[in-house]
Structures are given as C-alpha cells and as structure tokens.
Structure 1
Amino acid sequence: MAGSDLSSKKVLMVIAQEGFRDEEFFEPRDVFEDEGLSITIASNSTDEAMGVLGGSAKPDIAIKNVSIGEYDAIVISGGPGARKLLWPDKKLQDLVAEAFDLGMIVAAICVSPVVLARAGILEGKKATVFNDPACIKELLDAGADYENEDVIVTDNVVTGRDPTAAEKFGEAVLEALENI
C-alpha cells in the first residue's frame, strides 16, 4: 500500500494451538509485517502452536488474557484446529463482539468466520467461509448473506474463504485498516 503509513496499527492474530492452517496465518502476517504493523499472536495458551503443514508460531498471549481495546484489528486464522479449539471459545467470541462494537477491523478466514457468526456480528452482512456445509450453515443461521467468494469486505468485517485467498485476505485487512 504505497503512500500509506500503517506502522502505528496493531493487529491481534489468533491461531488455534494445534492445527492452524499455515498459509492463513503466515501469508497475512507477511503482508502486515511488510507494512510495519505491530503484530501480537494469541492462541489458547502461550505454548508453541503447530500448523497442519508443519509450521509453528509462538503465541505472545493467551486468548483469555487479551484486552481487545489495545488493537486496531483482530484477524483469526482457520484450519481444522480452529473448528475444534476456536469455534467454542466464548472469550474469543466476546473479544470479536467487543472489537466489532468498537469499530475495529474484525477478520477471519477459512472455517473461522464461524467464530464471527457465533459472536453475533454477521447478521445482514455479506460474508464468505470455507466451502463446507457445516460452516455455511453456521453463517446462514447467524443471518449472514453467504457468498462463495475469495474475500468479502462488509463495513469493518473481512472474511476469506480458504488458503488460496490468504494473501488477498491479508491485503483486504490492510486496506480496511487504512479506512479506520
């Protein structure tokens, strides 16, 4: 994003402790780092988190200890671990709802837009999610207008479909951050 200075922006990236989708974390993170954003990684604990493709990341903070007001955006990666560990996380749902209420950028990719649905912030909004019947049903049940697209931005909410959209998803989050 030539000409813009996003270096003062702080992004909370959320990954499952095990089974996060590598591309959906590392590609957006690289996009954010290239623009000088401050990144904090949150997970179920601060133990080393493992991706499904063998990548790993050391979380800075446990989800339960996050104060969302310190950030400009929350970005939730997908993967099979997200379904198991992030979907049912009530604290994460509360953080998402609070971030949305504060007008922050709220973003999720792959299966993780379900967290946004469960947080109650997708009603009446266009959104995408991994092309899986259970995921799509969660969005529809939450009142979202589901569309099978790579990336959808509606107001301050950014959703991405799958690993192939990871870089484009990161760029959409950056663009949304420029507008807040």
Structure 2
Amino acid sequence: MADSKKVAFLVAAEGIERVELTEPWEAVSKAGHQPVLLSPKTGEVQTFDHLTAAEKRPVDQAVGDASVDDFAALVLPGGVANPDALRTDDAAVSFVKTFVDSGKPVAAICHAPWTLIEADVVQGKTVTSWPSLQTDLRNAGATWVDQELVTDGNLITSRKPDDLPAFNDALVKAIG
C-alpha cells in the first residue's frame, strides 16, 4: 500500500498489558499501516493479562537502533512493570522524548505515561492515565483529568483497557 506508514510500539521485556499492545496493533494493521515492535533488547517480550503471563511476541528492532524518522507514530502500551522498566532505559526514554519533540503522534495508555514523565514531555499538557499516576503526572507539570481519551497537541492518552476503542480511533485518525 502506497500510503502505508510504520508505527512504532515501544515496550519493555515484560509486564506489557496484552490488550494494550494487541488491540492498537490490530487497529493500525487494519488501517493499512505497519506496526513495528521495539524494545530495549531484541528477542521476545512477555505480555500479561493483568498479572498472568499471556503470549510472547518477537521484537522487530532494538529501540537503540531505531530512528524516529522511520515512523509516523509511537504507541506506548501500559501494564505496570512495562513502563516502569522503560523509564530506566536511556535509549527508550531518549526515543520517546525525540518522538514527542518531533510533533508526530504519541499514544500512551494506562501506566505508559510514566515513560512520558521520565522523558520530561508532559509539562503544560493535559493528559489522562490509570488513576494511580495522577500525582506523578501533576508533579511533572501536567494537568491530569479522568477521561476516556485526552488529546493535547501530539499526545494521545487513555486510562485503561476499557478505553481502547476511543484510543484506537484517535490513534488511527492521528496517523492519517
């Protein structure tokens, strides 16, 4: 497809909430775009259904070898351990910061805004997340709201798996 665009999905090695990866992945694919799984290391990543291990997925590319220029959008799935691990990886944090600064769409759901905080890109932005992150987001200079979907500039945020239909629609529309 001539207008097909690559979309980066950035995750840690484990702790990824499965549906927050697979449902946006499917939405991007159905829209005719190419999802690409990035992680700090190549190999496989372990998804979870809340606290229960689910499927493993192959990593397409190490984030340290990826260029923001190659992607039309970035998706940050949640899960508690996933963004907690990503925010300690310098290459992942740098990639997220560069992506947000590029002006291209960045979509983060549930606990994923922890990585946005670490990348220092939420100050002055209105965002949502899993409720337990609201103090962290406010302390980082964001305005936190309890809404299904919030879009502020190129940042798209949602709270939880129940918000995935709105999240996926906003993501696909932002990609164009």
Using the size of structure 2 for normalisation, the TM-score is 0.90
* 1:136 pairs with 2:107: no
Determine if the alignment matches structure 1 residue 17 to structure 2 residue 13.
yes
Gaps of 5+ in 1: none
Q: In the TM superposition, what whole-angstrom CA distance separates every residue of 1:101-147 from its partner, at most 9, and x where no partner exists?
A: 22111111111111112212111111011111xx2222111111100
Counterpart of 1:46, as a letter, is T
**Does structure 2 conserve the Cα–Cα contact (< 8 Å) formed by 1:15 and 1:42?**
yes
For residues 22 and 95 of structure 1, the distance between their equivalents in structure 2, rounded to whole angstroms, comes to 22
Question: Partner of 2:143 in structure 1?
Answer: 145
- The SS at the match of 2:131 is coil
1:48 corresponding residue in structure 2: 44
Structure 1 CA distance for aligned equivalents of residues 43 and 161 of structure 2: 24
* CA spacing shift, 1:150–1:102, aligned 2, 3 Å: same
Shift of 1:89: 2.0
- 1:28 counterpart (24, 28, 31): 24
Contact 1:19/1:82, CA 8 A, preserved across alignment: yes
Please provide the CA RMSD for this pair.
1.6
Q: Aligned match of 1:167 in 165, 168, 172? A: 165
The question of whether the paired residues in 1 share the 8 Å contact of 2:149 and 2:157 is answered with yes
Out of 87-96 and 139-148, give the one that drifted further.
Answer: 87-96
Residue aligning to 1:155: 153
Percent identity of paired positions between Structure 1 and Structure 2: 28
The whole-number CA distance in structure 1 between the counterparts of 2:63 and 2:47 is 18
Q: 1:112 to 1:25 in 2, by over 3 A?
A: same
2:122 counterpart residue number: 122
More strand by share: 2
Q: TM-score, normalised by structure 1?
A: 0.89
Please give the per-residue CA displacement for 1:26-65, whole angstroms capped at 9, x wherever unaligned. Answer: 0101111101101110112222111112122111011222
Q: State the partner residue of 1:90.
A: 90
Long gaps (5+) in structure 2: none
